[in-house]
Amino acid sequence: MNNKYKILKTLFFKELKDVLRDKKALMMMILVPVVVYPLILLGAIMIVSMISENKDTVYDIAVYNESANFDAGNLENVLKENAIEKDEEDGSEEQLYTVNYEVVDGKIGEEDCRNRIDDKNLDVYIEITDAGDKANVKAFYMESVNESSEAMDKVRRAVDSISDSIVEKNVESAGLNANDLLNPIAFEKSGLSSDEQMAGLFLGTMLPMMIMLSILISVMHPSIDLTAGEKERGTLETLLMLPVPGKYIVIAKIFTASLCGVVTAILNILAMSTVFGVILENRKASGLFEGMNIELSSFISAMLVTFPVIIVTSLFMSAIFMCFTCFAKSYKEANSYVSPIMMVLMFLGYGSMIPTLELNQYVAIVPVLNVSVLLRDALNFKLNYSMLFLTLCSMVLYSTLAVIFFSKAYNSENLLFGDGKNEISLFEKRSNHKKGMPVTIGDVCFLYPFVILVYLLFGSLLQLKYELAGLFLSQFLILVGIPLAFFIYSKKDIKKAYSFNKCSPLSFVGGVLVGCGALLFAMLLGTVILKTTGITVNQGLVETFEKFFSHNVIVATLCIAGTPAIAEEMLFRGVVFSAIKDKMKPVYSVLIVSVLFGLFHMNLLKFFTTGAIGALLCLIVYYGGSIYPAMLAHFMVNFLSTVISKYGTEQVTKILSNPVMGIIGFGVAIAGLLIVKYSSKKATI
């Protein structure tokens, strides 16, 4: 055991050293996130502040006045007054921009006007004529010239205010209150968002995308270098001379590339925070977050979420890249393989910029998009812990699948020594499989993430569409069908894989007891977690559950209780447990099965409750040697919980979640297990 880690460590440090001595990789890892991105951000802000007007901006306005009703001098005064901002607190004045006002003697033609705007010695030309008693102000400008249209806005505002004051004067001379008449409704808006929330909104759109991008760029180079680059330089054969299993080499490579991603992302965040801090310090000059009072400590929870997100994203991206780059024979070739993937990942990473995209249970299982949106939600103080859990789980599952694929591909001789037109087969040819082999841990490593992801993607869709039939289909087709098809293909010993062994009738009694006890214990556990942490069950789940009951109640209950009892038992206490039980201490194997079973429910509260139930169910198989009593126990759990949630009053639920009942339940479950153990011993004798 110790030796394994030592070898892994050696391999890992060698790869790391190799990457760190590569100047190209270092540039991507350090220079880009630390220097380039902050510069881009600063540059963007500078451009914004350059575009926005300052006291050096001069607006040239030419006026030709032939109206007797209009006081051109008044216009000049208003324009110049508007250019000065008075601070109401200390009375200081600030010049926002300068107006260069010129009265011309003759009309300026349109063509001439256009030329002068193009030459930048005019922005707006105003022609004032009389139309009866009214003054007709006609302003010429060029919409396509920035300064010209800005000057136009100033003129418009000035003319409006002059017009208002004329109205005011007229109204007052008629003996009415001008203010009441002109503003019949008083409107006042009041923003409720805290300053931190406003800053979070800004950061939430920018930062996730930047982090995704920096991980992407930083991971790409080592991913290519450690696979295709190694092949190109001819060191691969040398490396393979080492007496270590290929998967070690694969793991060391993926970890190295992931670490680069993690380091870059952290550096990026640090650099960005510094820039953000600088902007905050100079918020007046930059115009961003002006007048806001931002407490940086309120972003700590977001930072804490960011950390696991960075790790899973780096892992995922490097694994995905390596899955493709290992097919390439040179750096150049690998680059062309990686480009389209990079496009897709970048596109997904931009998810945070779509404000309407919500992190629901579907978005949470789309890789990269989910973490991007999750980070945004964290920065917007809208983090949902169930979704966080689902997102991280699905990313880990995808990464596992990618690592397994990469490992298979990398260890294929065809790929390592092949002459070019190489192909790899994920599964060995059927004829090469020996008959009746047990299921291995490797099989489970591949089957579990694959089955769970398929179940997450299609299972819930099936259930939404076909309701009860969908539940039945999704459980049997995906949870049972996929592993079974694999076992038949690879000629596994199916009876052994599912622990389809005979058992005595007495063990079923034990199964019923364990089922009832486990439910009571899980209810207690659920109540405790709910009260201490406030985590609840996903609302979506409750709604689908309700839908099932629109059919025949008895059929629905039997289906909800029976389908998972068979399908889930076959997958977890069957396939998973039988693969690992002989390879490690029973404590660990039961623990692993219960963790995997808990994860399958994709909900933080349910993780603990179903995990506990899963452990007890697993013990039935461990002591009894047969899966049938576990199926019955699982049926009891589901049946009772369905009946309670459907027909149980609040009173009943309250009594059942009482700590005493929970402890009694635990005792009953243990008694059930003892019966199972006793009856199986008797059967073997």
Partner 1 sequence: MIKANNLVKTFTKTVQKNKKIEFNAVDDISFEVKKGEIVGILGPNGAGKTTLLRMLAGLMTPSDGYVSVETDEGEIKGNNELKRHIGYLSANTKLYGRFSAKEILKFYGQVYGMTDEEIDKRTEEIVKVLDMEKFADNRIDKLSTGQMQRTSISRCLIHDPEIYIFDEPTLGLDILSSSAIIDFMKAEKEKGKTVIYSTHYMEEAEYMCDRIIMIHEGKIVCNNSPEDLKKETDSHNLREVFKKLIENRMESAANE
Give Cα 176 to chain centroid, integer Å: 61
CB of 214 to partner 1, least distance (A): 24
Which of 28/375 has CB closer to partner 1?
28
Assign 333 to helix, strand or coil: helix
Contact status: 425 vs partner 1 (CB under 8 A): no
129 phi/psi in degrees, rounded to 5: -125, 175
Q: Least distance in Å: CB of 22 to partner 1?
A: 7
* Angle made by CA atoms 164, 170, 174, in degrees to the nearest 5: 140
Pick the closer one to partner 1 by CB: 22 or 71: 22
* Chosen residue from 16, 22, 32, 671 binding partner 1 by CB under 8 A: 22
Burial 421-434 (b: 16+ CB within 10 A, else e): eeebeeeeeeeeee
Residue 449 token pair: 């993430």
415 binds partner 1 (CB under 8 A): no
CB of 218 to partner 1, least distance (A): 18
Report the residue from 85, 413, 543, 546 that binds partner 1 according to the rule CB under 8 A. 413
Closest CB to partner 1 among 6 and 157? 6
Say if CB 361 and CB 390 are below 8 A apart: yes
**CA-to-CA distance for 470 and 460, rounded, in angstroms?**
8
What's the min distance (Å) between Cβ of 10 and partner 1?
A: 4
Nearer to partner 1, 228 or 319 (CB): 228
Burial string for 359-379 (b: 16+ CB within 10 Å, else e) reads bebebbbbbbbbbbbbbbbbb
> With binding defined as CB under 8 A, does residue 14 bind partner 1?
yes
Q: How far is the CB of 414 from partner 1 (least distance, A)?
A: 9
Does the footprint of partner 1 cover residue 243 (CB under 8 A)? yes
Is residue 132 close enough to count as binding partner 1 by CB under 8 A? no
Taking the complex as a whole, the smallest distance from the CB of residue 409 to partner 1 amounts, in Å, to 16
Q: Which stretches of 498-585 are DSSP H helices?
A: 505-533, 539-548, 553-569, 577-580
Minimum Å distance from CB 329 to partner 1? 13
Phi, psi of 512 (to 5 degrees): -60, -45
- For CA atoms 192, 196, 199, 205, the dihedral sign is negative
Q: Cβ of residue 4: shortest distance to partner 1, in angstroms?
A: 11
Stretch touching partner 1 by CB under 8 A, among 13-21, 64-72, 83-91, 178-186: 13-21
Select from 14-22, 155-163, 534-542, 677-685 the region that touches partner 1 (CB under 8 A): 14-22
Instruction: Give the C-alpha distances (Å, rounded to integers) separating 210 from 44, 242, 305, 382.
Output: 14, 39, 16, 20
From the list 1, 3, 143, 184, which residue makes contact with partner 1 (rule: CB under 8 A)? 3
Check residue 4 for interaction with partner 1 (CB under 8 A). no
**Minimum CB distance to partner 1, residue 235 (Å):** 5
Burial class (CB in 10 A: 0-12, 13-18, 19+), 244: middle
Contact between 429 and partner 1 per CB under 8 A: no
Q: Which of 349, 350, 369 is nearest to 359 (CA)?
A: 369
- Give yes or no for residue 551 binding partner 1 (CB under 8 A): no
Question: Of 521, 512, 522, whose CA–CA distance to 636 is shortest?
Answer: 512
Q: Sign of the CA dihedral 322, 326, 331, 334?
A: negative
Alpha carbon dihedral 293, 299, 300, 303, in 10-degree steps, equals: -150
Tell me the site size for partner 1, rule CB under 8 A: 24
The candidate with the shortest Cα–Cα distance to 264, out of 215, 210, 309, is 215
Q: How far apart are CA 341 and CA 79, in angstroms?
A: 55
From the CB of 232, what's the least distance to partner 1, in Å?
10
Q: How many CB atoms lie within 10 A of CB 553?
A: 12
Beta carbon nearer to partner 1, 234 or 534: 234
Q: How far is the CB of 236 from partner 1 (least distance, A)?
A: 9
Is 428 a binding residue for partner 1 by CB under 8 A? The answer is no
Q: Hey, what are 560's tokens?
A: 């909800």
Of 15-23, 72-80, 301-309, 647-655, which segment contacts partner 1 by CB under 8 A? 15-23
For tokens 């909900």, the residue is: 603
Residue 431 binds partner 1, judged by CB under 8 A: no
The residues facing 98 across adjacent strands are 58
Smallest distance, Å, CB 444 to partner 1?
23
- The verdict on 5 binding partner 1 (CB under 8 A) reads no
> Would you give the DSSP letter of residue 123?
S
Q: Is there binding between residue 91 and partner 1 (CB under 8 A)?
A: no
Q: Looking at 8-16, 106-114, 466-474, 592-600, which segment touches partner 1 (CB under 8 A)?
A: 8-16
Binding characters for partner 1, 202-241, by CB under 8 A (x = yes): -------------------------------xxx-xx-xx
* Gap between the Cα atoms of 194 and 197, Å rounded: 5
Phi and psi angles of residue 64, each rounded to the nearest 5 degrees, phi first: -115, 120
Based on CB atoms, which residue is closest to partner 1, 22 or 333?
22
For residue 42, what are its two tokens? 């600063």
Min dist CB 9 to partner 1, Å, is 9
**Closer to partner 1 by Cβ: residue 249 or 599:** 249
Toward partner 1, which CB reaches closer, 416 or 454? 416
Structure tokens at 14: 């060698």
- According to the binding rule CB under 8 A, does residue 353 interact with partner 1? no
Per rule CB under 8 A, is residue 85 in the interface with partner 1? no
Binding partner 1 (rule: CB under 8 A), the pick from 245, 277, 436, 442 is: 245
357: left (phi over 0), alpha (psi -120 to 50) or beta: beta
- Phi, psi dihedrals of residue 534, rounded to the nearest 5°: 80, 10
Residue 1 interacting with partner 1 (CB under 8 A): no
| Shortest Cβ 413–partner 1 spacing (Å) | 6
Count CA atoms within 13 Å of residue 192 on its CB side: 0
Residue ranges in contact with partner 1 by CB under 8 A: 3, 6-7, 10-11, 14, 17-18, 21-22, 233-235, 237-238, 240-245, 413, 417, 421
